[in-house]
Amino acid sequence: MLSEEGDYVLSGSILGESGVIVGSATDYLAIDASILVPRVFFADLHARAPTRPFITLYVQKIAGLDVVGYKGNYLNITQERWSQTLDIIKSTSSEGEFGVFTGTEWRENSAAGGDHNVVFLDDLHTSPLKFPFDRHGNVIRSSGAVE
């Protein structure tokens, strides 16, 4: 963590097994206390593999993301699968450290294409989602018919 204002140069190299540099990169960083947002967050709001290993290993450790949004495809949602997904999201999201948001991919007319990605920003611990089910427990989705 850099605590002093100023301009910094970050450089890094990757050594191969023989000790030869196989890759390197340089980046420039300016630290300024007057910036309103103290840090940049990296996110992917269209992830599709709601498993703990995917979220904890790939999303956090390899991709280095701070926020991920899981988008279930509305055509494949079942009550059981959706409940499991919400449990995974609740258990992997950590306030102030790593955010996981629930969402869905929805299209009004499947034949014409054109997905709409919907992200629910509420905290699942305090505001349980009713979507994607109606009050009778039926999946809410379009018929896919061309109108």
Query: What percentage of the chain's residues is helix, strand, coil (to nearest 5)?
Result: 20, 35, 45
Give the rounded percent of residues in the chain with a pLDDT score beyond 70: 79
Stated pTM of the model = 0.58
Strand partners, 21: 15
pLDDT at 100 (0 to 100): 86
Best CA proximity match to 120, nearest among 94, 86, 78:
86
pLDDT at 105 (0 to 100): 72
Query: Of 12-21, 50-59, 94-103, which range is least confident?
Result: 50-59
Best CA proximity match to 99, nearest among 81, 126, 132, 122:
122
Best CA proximity match to 120, nearest among 147, 146, 65, 82:
82
The helices-and-strands tally (H runs, E runs) of the chain is 2, 6
